[in-house]
Structure 1
Amino acid sequence: MSPAADQTFTVEDAVETIGFGRFHILLFVIMGSSNIVEAMEIMLLAVVSPEIRCEWRLDDWQVALVSTMVFLGFMVCGVLGGYVADRYGRWKVVCGGFIWSAYFSLLTSFAPSYGWFIFLRSMVGCGVAGVSQGFVLKTEFIPAKHRAFLLPLATIFWMTGSMLIIILGMLVVPTLGWRWMIRISVTPSVVLIFLFKFIPESARYNVSAGNVDAAVQTLQQIARMNRSSLPAGRLVEPAVTERGSWRILLNSSFRRTSILLWYSWFVASFSYYGSVLSSSELLEKNLLCVTNPDREHQVKHRHEDGLCYCIPFAFDDYQTLLISCLGEIALVPLNIGLLNVFGRKMSLTVLQLMAAIFFMLVNICTTMFGFTVLLFLLRSLVSMNFNVVYIYTAEVRHCWVIDQYFLCTSGVSVYCKYFLCVLQVLMSRSVFLALSPFSVACLLCALGNFLLPIETRGRALLVRNASLSTF
């Protein structure tokens, strides 16, 4: 028997040996583009709210309920999707999520009533939950030293999706209406469905499921594309029998990190979607304290005679939303620098503290330009924080509990959407009271980040059960 036959390697060894190459560029483009679809579906809520409020004469709580039902669908199917991905594979869930969300998004454009609209949008949220599993699939193929660069850079795709839906709203809504905007927005989903055949199933999943041959074939395919080779020897890792059990996240090894990260996910979701929806509410209802308002922004949502149901976005409002979206990528170099120089824990702390400050600054009276700058910086901070939380979560856990972790965090983070529903209604009565909870939550999260027990900068994704002791 040759010496090479006695050698063994793990999936992590193979990923690091193969290195970065053409496969990862393809992976980055296709899986990154999935963020375009996800962002379009989320930002659509902000763009379409003034239109459905006007068409069906909705009260504040009814508009807020739309967002709540979307994220309820996300929560229910996020938990189910995490379980299915952990048991049957990431690829199936991601591809199925695309088909599901595209189908129900198209149906939304034909909604005959408010009730049908919120039901169909909740089904879209269900599909988007499956799409979000693509982050796990993507992370598991990226070498450790490239994750802190590539994953934040993927914000480009999210920003692109956000900008596309705003531009569609700007161009299509005034002429063809919101229904045609939704129909056109489905196009990227249809295109991506056909591109998923170029993405293989996760080798880490196949190993954890005991399908080592399939994992080897996937790794060999990647090595050929990258013009590289696998390590010498055989791929050897034990199959994991505990897949699909959420209880492993609360055992003595995981409990502290799990609880702190669940709160970090809550705050990341709360602050990000809060910045998106609150900016839309402020602009739609003209609630800003603007020192130089134009005629369009002098029309108020609440007045002595009751509610004004029809205040469509002005061109300047779309422009403000577009500029704020640019904030999600403008500071990506800073995000990469923080991750590589100060690590994940310190980055989380700094970003949360800054976000807490900027949520309060939005309350100050300023010009429209000043508000745009504040919103730009706020979106930058909450977007960067979301990136770091995603990366830290993927790195701090063994690959065989990553899906269980995202399963639970999707459920935890979605609770923030119920707070957002209340705060959207409160916004009309007091901007300060509506924004203060965001600032307090970010401040508490920054303090909690000091208690996280692990720094994951440069750390490999662990697989073996023997590594449990390191937690």
Structure 2
Amino acid sequence: MGDGDPPATYTVDEALVALGFGKFQLLVLAYAGMGWVSEAMEVMLLSFIGPAVQSLWGLSAREESLITSVVFAGMLVGAYSWGIVSDKHGRRKGFLITAVVTTGAGFLSAFAPNYLSLLVLRCLVGVGLGGGPVLSSWFLEFIPAPKRGTWMVIFSAFWTVGTIFEASIAWFVMPRLGWRWLLALSSLPSSVLLLFYVVAPESPRYLCMKGRIADAHSILKEIARLNKTELPAGVLVSDYNVQLQENSIPSEDTQLLTSRRKENRTLDSSEQSMGGFSSLLMLLSPRLLKSTMLLWIYFFGNAFAYYGLVLLTTELSNGRNKCSPYQSHLKKTSDINYGDVFVTSFAEFPGLLISAAIVDKLGRKLSMSSMLFLCCIFLLPLVVHQPAGLTTSLLFGARICITASFTIIYIYAPEVYPTSIRTTGVGVASSIGRIGGMICPLVAVALIKGCHQTASIILFEIVIFVSGICAVLFPFETKGRDLSDTIASSTEDVNSA
């Protein structure tokens, strides 16, 4: 290189590939994973709290279902709000607020004196839990592109750990100490996020997108130190800088630096200072509209099915699936077969293993669609009453499939959106999913309680099948792609693929 030539440059993606996946990413994984454990526990306990409170306070089936629905209503608000906060003010600020709200409201809900106060506090817990997509996007932005699929599946394993841990605690605590102790103990994991918040790093990709190159470089140097590797030679640049070079100096050297980018890309500077409403408009822009709408439908259907299967486990796998109109109002906490719930929760482990095996081989789209269609097959025999053992086995198989599809969509969705609106995009999609989770206990599970099992299962079949069709129709595959920082680079990289 001559003296007049520009210095060599590298992007965050190139730096992460050079640094590899090492000790630094493992620490980030442990921190983000604890947040995922916390959310899984708070969702899983809904299977146990409703029946206990219904028996204690003499609630109707609809009032019991509302305890679950208000949590998802809160998650709907939280997922959208914290996504905007983290895109505008940083990933760290996003998950700090969520941890404070989840821990505080979760612990206080154990002391709720009546039904109304419990609803309010559990809704606040849901608002905090809505920050889950922030943690997943934060972790994603530290992973080298070639290993992204595998490590995001491993990250999803923390959800499974949380569900099994919650089932284990409920199995021990509920018969002995009661539901208040379960609520209090389940709020503890989210407090771990607060304890170690000081040492949690900001995403270097986010910092670059905001023009804080020096701060991003410092974090990359720390990754190199902990991983015992070296940064690439040259100067760190962001997509913003690269695109300015493309527009102003379309030289051969610049084209070599950006061989996977087209020369005509431009960066709308408003992406770096977008408010909440303008971020939402970007999700609905012509370049992202099809992806956004299909993701919203998919998230709705997947959440409806996943949380529905969790709740149905306590309704169908315990011998009460041959119900009479009188039994649905005579349910007691002791009726819940905690062993079956515990066993069914283990279905998530093979779901994770399957998703890890296929996500980087078959690709995201084929993996998601095949899992959802297979889930339909497992649920189909349940349109009529089945023996308890067969019911548990079918729910086990369906849980495997829906866990795999849920795992992969949380890999695919952040890969679709650029850094400038990534957590907003995933957060809004997750919010739509929360609507599915909110409606599910009021509609599908209520049908089971009213002895309309056939109608309920048919509804699940329709929702899951439509979600599978959406996976087939997703406009592009993201396997092996670098993450993009701007909308222009995101869509044009796809067009050039």
Taking structure 2 as the reference length, the TM-score comes to 0.87
Confirm whether residue 260 of structure 1 aligns to residue 291 of structure 2. Answer: no
- Return 427-436 or 109-118, whichever deviates more: 427-436
Unaligned 5+ segments in structure 1 are 290-299
Kindly indicate whether the alpha-carbon contact (under 8 Å) linking 1:86 and 1:404 is maintained by their aligned counterparts in 2: yes
Kindly indicate whether the alpha-carbon contact (under 8 Å) linking 2:205 and 2:216 is maintained by their aligned counterparts in 1: yes
Give secondary structure in 1 for the equivalent of 2:173: helix
Superposed displacement of residue 287, structure 1: 3.5
CA distance in 1, matches of 2:114, 2:283: 42
Give the match for residue 446 of structure 1. 468
Superposed displacement of residue 401, structure 1: 2.0
Superposed displacement of residue 367, structure 1: 3.2
Give the match for residue 339 of structure 2. 319
Superposed displacement of residue 364, structure 1: 4.2
- Note the aligned Cα RMSD (angstroms): 2.1
Match of 2:270 among 227, 233, 241: 241
Give secondary structure in 2 for the equivalent of 1:340: coil
Tell me the amino acid that sits aligned with residue 105 of structure 2.
Answer: F
Kindly indicate whether the alpha-carbon contact (under 8 Å) linking 2:95 and 2:131 is maintained by their aligned counterparts in 1: yes
Confirm whether residue 277 of structure 1 aligns to residue 277 of structure 2. Answer: no
Kindly indicate whether the alpha-carbon contact (under 8 Å) linking 1:249 and 1:258 is maintained by their aligned counterparts in 2: yes
Give secondary structure in 2 for the equivalent of 1:210: coil
Give the match for residue 115 of structure 2. 114
Superposed displacement of residue 353, structure 1: 0.5
CA distance in 2, matches of 1:400, 1:336: 28
Confirm whether residue 130 of structure 1 aligns to residue 163 of structure 2. Answer: no
Give the match for residue 410 of structure 1. 430
Superposed displacement of residue 307, structure 1: 5.6
CA distance in 1, matches of 2:188, 2:470: 42
CA distance in 1, matches of 2:270, 2:20: 29
Give the match for residue 62 of structure 2. 61
CA deviations on 1:214-241 (whole Å, 9 max, x unpaired) are: 1111111111111112222212222853
Give the match for residue 393 of structure 2. 373
Tell me the amino acid that sits aligned with residue 368 of structure 2.
Answer: L
Confirm whether residue 386 of structure 1 aligns to residue 406 of structure 2. Answer: yes
Give the match for residue 222 of structure 1. 223
CA 1:366–1:433 in structure 2 vs 1: closer, same or farther (change >3 Å)? closer
Superposed displacement of residue 257, structure 1: 1.4
CA distance in 1, matches of 2:368, 2:144: 22
Give the match for residue 93 of structure 1. 94
Superposed counterparts of 1:3-18, under 5 Å? 6-18=7-19
Confirm whether residue 250 of structure 1 aligns to residue 251 of structure 2. Answer: no
Percent sequence identity over matched residues? 28
Tell me the amino acid that sits aligned with residue 205 of structure 1.
Answer: Y
Kindly indicate whether the alpha-carbon contact (under 8 Å) linking 2:71 and 2:438 is maintained by their aligned counterparts in 1: no
Give the match for residue 302 of structure 1. 325
Superposed counterparts of 1:194-233, under 5 Å? 194-233=195-234
Kindly indicate whether the alpha-carbon contact (under 8 Å) linking 2:417 and 2:487 is maintained by their aligned counterparts in 1: no
CA distance in 1, matches of 2:115, 2:324: 20
Superposed displacement of residue 64, structure 1: 0.9
Confirm whether residue 334 of structure 1 aligns to residue 354 of structure 2. Answer: yes
Give the match for residue 321 of structure 2. 288
CA 1:454–1:131 in structure 2 vs 1: closer, same or farther (change >3 Å)? closer
Superposed displacement of residue 466, structure 1: 4.6
CA distance in 2, matches of 1:45, 1:393: 26
Superposed displacement of residue 212, structure 1: 1.5
Superposed displacement of residue 153, structure 1: 2.0
Superposed displacement of residue 185, structure 1: 2.0
CA deviations on 1:382-433 (whole Å, 9 max, x unpaired) are: 1110111111111122222211212321232122134312222222230111
CA distance in 1, matches of 2:62, 2:26: 44
Superposed counterparts of 1:17-32, under 5 Å? 17-32=18-33
Tell me the amino acid that sits aligned with residue 8 of structure 1.
Answer: T
Tell me the amino acid that sits aligned with residue 45 of structure 1.
Answer: L
CA distance in 1, matches of 2:455, 2:85: 40
Confirm whether residue 400 of structure 1 aligns to residue 434 of structure 2. Answer: no
CA distance in 2, matches of 1:219, 1:466: 25
CA 1:109–1:148 in structure 2 vs 1: closer, same or farther (change >3 Å)? same
Give secondary structure in 2 for the equivalent of 1:252: coil
Superposed displacement of residue 465, structure 1: 5.4
CA deviations on 1:33-70 (whole Å, 9 max, x unpaired) are: 22111111001111111110001111111011111111
CA 1:194–1:349 in structure 2 vs 1: closer, same or farther (change >3 Å)? same
Confirm whether residue 426 of structure 1 aligns to residue 471 of structure 2. Answer: no
Unaligned 5+ segments in structure 2 are 242-268
CA distance in 2, matches of 1:67, 1:212: 44
- Return 196-205 or 109-118, whichever deviates more: 196-205
- Return 224-233 or 104-113, whichever deviates more: 224-233
CA distance in 2, matches of 1:87, 1:367: 53
Tell me the amino acid that sits aligned with residue 311 of structure 2.
Answer: L
Superposed displacement of residue 339, structure 1: 1.1
